[in-house]
A and B are shown apart, each in its own frame.
Chain A
């Protein structure tokens, strides 16, 4: 029997993730060095893990309120106020989600009517376009460019805008490019959002991993709080990807709408992860900064090496991704990544896995040990010399 006829059309039409394709190839390869991951190499700091164990020991095994533990929401409001200069009320302007992933999905489902258009900059995190499609919205990608260090510009926004655009999704610093915007650029984006009456979803999951300058949250700009949903989580900064915990802050009416979707779909995030998240916020800052400093040094190394090798690479101001241009090899990004994997056993991800605008680029995650990075750079150098020589 052909079951596929039962599958909803908008799901059938979702493209398969480029990451999955690549994962299948890499999984078969023994002892490859992988710069293909999207998460820290550190395990969660022990004091945070220990808080999770303690929670279990204390019998914290029940549902929490739909919005999440009030103590965690209070800690979040303090943290967001201190680090992002945006103030929210713990009682009704914060919701705890199962990672930023769920936060994104909730926001899309709560905001998008069928046919509403959603702008997002691209290359971008793999879920953005599918999340919009699954909520029956229409994705409107806005390109970012290497010449701007992959910052989102108002010119690009203006060029991509069309009637019917309702939502603007931001991810600064950005996965996969590491690009971000300075305060002036964010102010210009905010002005554009007001002019076009857009509601802004700001995924700031990499904000702690900003290496130069200060991170500016669009939620902190005057008058913006009312039209911004601030999405954040613990996965990257606190090395907590497996805990599946994040949060959204925003105007009470919008959080209430997201809560409705959340209560009927997820009910609440894991209480164990919520308890651990409190520990991360209250006592995790030093450990987080230590990890950030290590990423910072690894970034400086790998970006310098890419440029020495001849793969032009901008200096990513945030995140743990380098996004080198591989076009000088004479190969497209996919062929390059596959040949690198097959001949030198180094995995990087073709930029087109993150959208059309990633053409010619590859993503290399530098959240890995120095030994691996140094060795990977040596192998990439050898491979580039071999293929560029043949060209």
Chain B
């Protein structure tokens, strides 16, 4: 693996200056490598993982199971991409099993999300059915536990 990609995965929240130290690069070199990764379409961006309540963010999230008709030549791709382009859609995956697409959406309110499903999503030619599940509470997000306080693990400062 590209050492920078490896470090991005492993090094968590290092600053660019710190990443440069680890990889023995100047900060300028590091930035140009980051740029290169973006150009190649490998690095798409950074997002913080926040632990905020729904009231604070004012966001309602839902998962929608979508069944669609595959097309000759394109399979599921054209429709999947079309659905993915909506701003409301956070992520979209092609799945095996009882439905075809799993779509994660968010909206400012329950009504907005419901409207998105009934007016946009299900009216698309080729969408056969949708089943919408609203998320009530998050327990783990992108590898981080959300509940409760952060407890420092109590490692002794010096041990043999």
Contact = CB atoms under 8 A, between A and B. Distances in A.
B158 A374 contact: no
Interface string B2-17: 0000110011111000
Nearest to A25: B158
A22 to B, nearest CB: 5
A184 interface: no
A37 B158 contact: yes
Contact of B18 (A34, A43, A304, A371): A371
B145 to A, nearest CB: 10
Contacts of B12: 369-371
Given A371-B18, A377-B21, A37 B159 contact: yes
Contacts of A162: none
Interface in A23-40: 23, 26-27, 29, 32, 34, 36-39
A23 B41 CA distance: 49
A187 B22 CA distance: 37
A349 B10 contact: no
B137 interface: no
Nearest to A43: B153
A126 B22 contact: no
B47 to A, nearest CB: 19
Contact of B158 (A22, A41, A377, A378): A22
A349 B156 CA distance: 13
Nearest to A294: B10
B158 A23 contact: yes
B157 interface: yes
B157 A36 contact: yes
A127 interface: yes
A38 B21 contact: no
A113 interface: no
B155 interface: yes
Contacts of A27: 157-158
B160 A374 contact: no
Interface string A100-132: 000000000000000000000000011100000
A17 B160 contact: yes
Interface residues of A, number: 33
Contact of B21 (A19, A347, A374): A374
A145 interface: no
A371 B13 contact: yes
Nearest to A293: B10
A374 B159 contact: no
Nearest to A304: B24
B155 A41 contact: yes
Contacts of B22: 301, 370, 374
Contacts of B160: 17, 19, 38, 125-127, 175
Contacts of A34: 157-158
Contacts of B6: 297
Given A301-B22, A374-B18, A377-B21, A26 B157 contact: yes
Contacts of A378: 21
Contacts of B157: 23, 26-27, 29, 32, 34, 36-37, 347
B144 to A, nearest CB: 14
A289 B46 CA distance: 27
Interface of B: 6-7, 10-14, 18, 21-22, 24, 153, 155-160
6 closest pairs, A vs B, by CB? Answer: A36-B158, A23-B158, A38-B159, A374-B18, A126-B160, A34-B157
